[in-house]
Amino acid sequence: MRGDLLRTVVPLLPSAHQGMTRARTLLLIVGGTISVAVGIVGIFVPLLPTTPFLLLAAFLYARGSQRLYKRLLGNRLIGNYLRRYYERRCMTRRHKLVTLTLLWAVIVLSAALATDSWWARGILGGVAVAVTTHILLLPGERDRSEASDS
């Protein structure tokens, strides 16, 4: 299954070395690596988004280094998450619940404790509503624990 995804996603993207200079390749790889790092930090810091940075990393690696791109998608932790998003554009119910709970907890705490400004609170609320809408509109996928119960 993993190989099938790599064969279907990678050809959709331009080859990493078609008319590319060394400097551009290096910039793509450095950008991808920074994006992976920020995405991993985002797993633990709820206001920092994980998915956009990991998708950006995959995008940059696909253009800069096929080896790093395949390694990212093949990673046992991050790769599963990215492959599910690429293949089915979905999240498990459990992941949605955890994500939205953490998101709203941090947004409410930030709005209550970090700012007195009404416009900053409005922006935080708008971000929370936009992210919640996006997550709820993603198709759900049953967790393995739910699938084994039925």
The yes-or-no verdict on residue 17 having pLDDT over 70 is no
Q: Could you tell me the pLDDT band of residue 18, with boundaries at 50, 70 and 90? A: low
Write the pLDDT tens digit of every residue in 43-57.
Answer: 777 667 787 888 889
**Phi-psi category of residue 19: left, alpha or beta, with phi > 0 → left and psi -120 to 50 → alpha:** left
| Same domain as 80, residue 7 | yes
Angle subtended at Cα 70 by Cα 64 and Cα 71, rounded to the nearest 5 degrees: 100
> Where is pLDDT greater, at 102 or 17?
102
> Where is pLDDT greater, at 68 or 8?
68
| Same domain as 84, residue 99 | no
Among the listed ranges 15-19, 76-80, 130-134, which one has the minimum average pLDDT value? 15-19
| Same domain as 63, residue 6 | yes
- Give mean pLDDT, residues 16-41: 84
Tokens 């390749």 — which residue?
Answer: 25
The total domain count for the chain is 2
Q: Which of 41-45, 89-93, 103-107 has the highest mean pLDDT?
A: 103-107
